[in-house]
Amino acid sequence: MSDAVPPLDPDRVPTVIVDDVHLRYRVVGKSGGGGAPAALRRLLTRQERPGTRVVDAVRGVSFNAYRGDAIGLIGPNGSGKSTLLRAIAGLMPPVAGAIYTQGQPAMLGVSSALMRSLSGERNIILGGLAMGMSMAEVNEKYDSICEFSGLGDFIDLPMKTYSSGMGARLKFAIAAARSHDILLIDEALSTGDAQFRRRSEKRIKELRDEAGTVFLVSHGLNIVRHTCNRAIWLEAGKIIADGDATQVVNAYEARHDPESLEEHLAALRASGARLVEESTESDG
């Protein structure tokens, strides 16, 4: 393990160790240029398309997560939160560094398996099976999923007739029906009304007790405050601060105001949080 990883806390059970991870993805952007002959030549010489851009989404992130942790990942759009989550789930290999996990991390990404033109009822079955449940398990959980989603009679209607909040409720209800060792949640809770939000926050707490570790990517800062005990602030693929959820969220909220940001960062430092100063970090 490289020295970038903070020392492990000997009193707690680590579940995820992220060791100096770099993640990169390729985007096929504008057309290659040069028309068909050039495209054919590139194909034959196995050259990269000139339009292809490499995006360094995560650049050297290290942290440890322990059993019982609920960690909020916060940061502006494009800061690498979702990419990092995907890497922890094992769905994207790091270009450098390594991720060690105990148990199989599961991503609450069930929405991609659902079909909008089918009824909510059918989607519950489909989503449950997609997450790896057996038919018997799905049948057993079916009622509690329906009830949790709070959709009532709408459950018979096709999903495309749902409002975005209703759709989100159904997705979360399906995804949260199962307990996991390490649970990764990406923007699942930003929609939905207050009542549903309370219910889902409660469910996350339960999952955290059952599962051990929960990761939550969210722009809803209050959700992070309420459900997480720890938060990691990412900016342009690097960790800015890693510490107590409320303090990190407060500092993040104050990021446009240098003076109060300094205050919050000082408070964080005093509480023993890990801060990575942007200025002292050199590019890898």
Partner 1 sequence: MAAYVRQLWGRRQFVWVYAVSRNAASNSGNFLGEAWNVLTPLLNAGVYFLVFGLLLDTKRGVDNYIAFLVIGIFFFEFCARAINVGSNAIRSNLGLLRSLHFPRAVLPIAVTLTSLQQLLYSLVVVFAVVLLTGEPITLYWLELIPAVALQTVFCLGLALLFARVGAHLPDASQLLPFATRVWLYTSGILYSVDRFTEGRPEWLRIVLDVNPGAVYVNLARRALIDHNYGDLSTWLLAVGWSVGIFVIGFLVFWQGEEEYGRV
Query: Which residues of the chain form contacts with partner 1 (CB under 8 A)?
Result: 25-28, 86, 89-93, 104, 106-107, 109-113, 115-118, 122, 125-126, 129-132, 134-135, 158
Nearer to partner 1, 81 or 199 (CB): 81
The whole-angstrom separation of Cα 46 and Cα 55 is 20
SS3 214: strand
CA atoms within 13 A on the CB side of 215: 31
In whole angstroms, how close is the CB of 16 to partner 1 at the nearest point?
16
Q: Which helix (H) or strand (E) holds 125?
A: helix 120-130
Nearer to partner 1, 38 or 129 (CB): 129
Quick one: CA dihedral 129, 134, 138, 141, positive or negative? negative
In whole angstroms, how close is the CB of 104 to partner 1 at the nearest point?
7
Q: Do 173 and 149 touch, CB atoms closer than 8 A?
A: yes
Nearer to partner 1, 150 or 158 (CB): 158
Nearer to partner 1, 27 or 270 (CB): 27
In whole angstroms, how close is the CB of 131 to partner 1 at the nearest point?
7
The whole-angstrom separation of Cα 88 and Cα 70 is 14
Q: What are 57's two structure tokens?
A: 């989404």
Nearer to partner 1, 25 or 162 (CB): 25
The whole-angstrom separation of Cα 118 and Cα 219 is 29
Quick one: CA dihedral 202, 204, 208, 210, positive or negative? positive
The whole-angstrom separation of Cα 234 and Cα 279 is 15
Nearer to partner 1, 46 or 256 (CB): 46
In whole angstroms, how close is the CB of 260 to partner 1 at the nearest point?
38
Nearer to partner 1, 159 or 240 (CB): 159
Phi-psi region of 36 (alpha: psi -120 to 50; beta: other; left: phi over 0): alpha
Nearer to partner 1, 131 or 170 (CB): 131
For residue 228, give the nearest of 175, 176, 185 by alpha carbon: 185
In whole angstroms, how close is the CB of 130 to partner 1 at the nearest point?
6
The whole-angstrom separation of Cα 49 and Cα 37 is 13
In whole angstroms, how close is the CB of 136 to partner 1 at the nearest point?
9
In whole angstroms, how close is the CB of 243 to partner 1 at the nearest point?
29
In whole angstroms, how close is the CB of 179 to partner 1 at the nearest point?
16
